[in-house]
Structure 1
Amino acid sequence: MPRPIVFVGDSITEGWGEAQPGLFARHGFVNRGIGGEASGRIRARFRDEILAAGARGVHLMCGINDIAEVEGPVPLPRIQENIAAMVAEGRRLGLPVWLGSITPATAIAWNPEVSPRPSIAALNRWLREHAAGAGARFIDYHAVLATEEGALRPGFGSDGVHLTPEGYRAMEAILLAALGAHGAASGASCPPAGRDR
């Protein structure tokens, strides 16, 4: 049985596996998303998750819970540090790393004092640049999910942050294109990530 690509993240990742179990089963993806976790908690379990699964690649997507201040305010450089450390760990293990963008939101229902759009835009710019320099591959989910105002498109979100099945279906095509460009979507062996993405 081919080794899996492991999806590590928060509730956005967790919900993807729940909304599209067939996608994960067909391609042998393993979902390790845990709702409510900020990047620091994900970083703490990252290595163990990919080693336990025998990963041949890792898809990392996180940061919205930091921006939403689920554990209190988190400076942008701290989020970047956590994500950079996980990308570096994946690369040290010889794995290709796909780095997903933060998905759109213009408000946080459970924390209305937070205005997430500027932080999402800044972090997504950094994610793209960091992937290019760190040997990872950036996947821009935000572009296919967002309105011009930076909100989730109608029908793609359930509460302004979390995705509906329709939202996940919109992400599926660009995920498979990114993986398929490197022979990874179907379980074929996958070369180490380079600067292309």
Structure 2
Amino acid sequence: MKSRTIYALLLTFALAAPAHSNPTPNPLAVPKDDANTPGAGPISGGKMFNSLWFRLRKSWATRVEQDKGAITFLGDSITMGWSPSFRGAFKGYKTANRGISADTSRGALYRMDGDVLALDPAAIVILIGVNDLGRDTEPEIVAGNVKLMLDKIKAHNDKTPVILCYIMPSAPNRNVPKEKAQKLNNMYAGFAKKYPQVTTLDTWTLFADENGGPKKGILKDGIHPNSKGYFLWRGALLNKFAELKLEKIQPAKKPKQ
């Protein structure tokens, strides 16, 4: 409830205040003040990213009530790649996609309250960190940001299930060090022991070959899943949904004739 109220105020500010009349930073925009931004490590920037971030968050701010109670996915371009409708992958479940291409763990942490917790989600699926590692960010920094996310979720509702997905393997030319990815995944595994509401999904093993690289035919460009890759991820997630006993949407009853 608190997160929804805060987000409603942010939306009112963002939509009502002309950008040229108020020097206060727009709360839906990419944060510029590093000292007052929670977490550590990089936040993406640049004209295209800033525009995408603001456009998506402004759109989502208008859907808070509509998306309330959804299984909410938080992440970067791999999550965004599901598309807003998830292409029917989770038929029967209410879902909301809060992935932003090129986002980092610190960016996702910044968005947690408004984009995710404001929905009072039925569950949260997190896949984040590959963009951090691709920028030489140490796994400890990424894990620290994810821990802050989990603390926020716990404070909001300590019963909300969290599915924390492991970093997936990627091609060597993507400059995501395998050793750092595996170290970060081990840290993610530790969170499941510290937070009872957290369960991990081993998307590393799901996508990795015997050498720790991506299996053939499941990535379209060395880092993003193709349709086969998303199908694999979908199956693993559906198993988790069943384990967690997440409820499907009840179809509306037809009126009696």
Q: Which has the larger radius of gyration?
A: 2
The alpha-carbon distance between structure 1 residues 97 and 115, as it changes in their structure 2 partners (threshold 3 A), is closer
- Sequence identity percentage: 25
Q: Which residue of 1 aligns with 2:140?
A: 77
Aligned residue pairs: how many? 181
Q: What's the CA shift string for 1:94-124, capped at 9, x where partnerless?
A: 1221111111114244xxxx35211111111
Aligned partner of 2:141: which letter?
R
Q: How far apart, in 1, do the equivalents of 2:234 and 2:185 lie?
A: 19
2:194 corresponds, among 124, 133, 136, to: 133
Equivalent position to 2:76, from 10, 16, 28: 10
RMSD over aligned CA atoms reads 2.1
Deviations 1:123-161 (A, max 9, x none): 111111112222211011111111112222111001111
1:50 aligns with 2:116: yes
Q: Which residue of 1 aligns with 2:179?
A: 118
Q: RCO (CA 8 Å, sep 6+): is it higher in 1 or 2?
A: 1
Check whether the contact 1:5–1:59 (CA below 8 A) recurs between aligned residues. Answer: yes
Name the CA distance, whole Å, in 2 between partners of 1:85 and 1:187: 31
Partner of 1:92: 155
Cα distance in 2, alignment partners of residues 132 and 149 from structure 1: 28
When the two structures are superposed, what TM-score results if normalisation uses the length of structure 2?
A: 0.65
Deviations 1:39-66 (A, max 9, x none): 1111101111113333122111100000
CA pair 6-121 structure 1, distance change in 2 beyond 3 A = same
TM-score of the superposed pair, with normalisation by structure 1: 0.84
Unmatched 5+ stretches in structure 2:
1-65, 251-257
In structure 2, the residue matched to 1:68 is: 134
CA distance in 2, matches of 1:104, 1:187: 33
Residue 101 of structure 1 contacts residue 127 of structure 1 at CA under 8 Å; is this kept in 2? yes
Query: Aligned with 2:140: secondary structure?
Result: helix
Supply the distance in 1 between the matched residues of 2:85 and 2:181 (Cα, whole angstroms): 24
